[in-house]
Amino acid sequence: MIKKILVSQPKPSSDKSPYYDIEEDLGVDLVFRPFFKVEGLSAKEFRQQKVNILDYTAVVFTSRHAVDNYFNLAKEMRITIPEDMKYFCVIETIALYIQKYVQYRKRKVFFGNTGKIDSLIPTMTKHKTEKYLVPQSSVHTEALSELLDANKLKHKECVMYRTVSNGLTEEEVKNFDYDMLVFFSPTGVKALKENIPNFVQGDIKIAAFGPATAKEVEAQGLRLDLQAPSKEYPSMTGALRAFLEEEKKNK
């Protein structure tokens, strides 16, 4: 029976998070503990890439980290983002998150519906004249760049943030008694093995968000029990709820 779940993300800042509904409705205990933290590049480090933010008319956001670090760097470099800058986000939650920094206007904020960049491509190709800037983590694949090339879109990738390990304490390792682990990045999966080298999965269920995370779970010789996003469940919370409900039904 799944009772205690480790979610490798920071604790949600809003009381209205769907995670809390899952806890209440399904009687599980969710523990939020990121295995890594995200650090933004300094303006000095960013300048070494010789990328001028204002040379681009649109930004592609694949995560909230990308949003935070794009606007933080602009502020640090004293760059005023033009009012007519367009924002293309892989999913609506990221599009809504932009409101933290700019006034949300439908005519300049676009989003996909699956959490994958593919669902955003048809919208981007309608805006073929834009020059797209893609803020990324220091750990990334070339898949996104290749996809934009294939669709003849003008784009430039740049690194704006990096992930660093956020190791478990001795006490946390000793009391590692979870029934399920939920990962959101390959870095998180690797960090599990770094923190607990003799980790044995056994009956522990593992969930992964995104194809790269799922791939890393298998690369580490672990069993993947749940993958999101899917056609049916674009979010991890939706997929997790359905998985737990199914588990409960089968008990």
One digit per residue, pLDDT tens: the chain, 251 residues?
Answer: 899 999 999 898 888 899 999 999 999 999 999 988 889 999 999 999 999 999 999 999 999 999 999 999 999 999 999 999 999 999 888 999 999 998 877 679 999 888 788 889 999 999 999 999 999 998 788 889 999 999 999 999 999 999 887 888 889 988 999 999 999 988 889 989 888 999 999 999 999 999 989 999 999 999 999 999 988 998 999 999 999 999 988 87
Please report whether residue 50 resides in a domain: yes
**Together in a domain, 60 and 152:** yes
Please report whether residue 77 resides in a domain: yes
Q: Which of 163, 186, 210 is the last residue of a domain?
A: 163
**Together in a domain, 202 and 154:** no
**What's the full length of the chain, in residues?**
251
Distance CA 18, CA 16 (A): 6
Return the pLDDT at 32: 96
Return the pLDDT at 85: 95
Q: How far is the CA of 198 from the CAs of 193, 195, 220, in angstroms?
A: 8, 9, 12
Question: Which structural domain range is residue 187 located in?
Answer: 11-35+166-250
Tokens of residue 131, six digits: 């020059």
Distance CA 183, CA 225 (A): 12
Q: Per the structure, how many domains does the chain have?
A: 2
Please report whether residue 114 resides in a domain: yes
pTM > 0.75 = no
Which residue type, as a one-letter code, is found at position 126? Answer: K
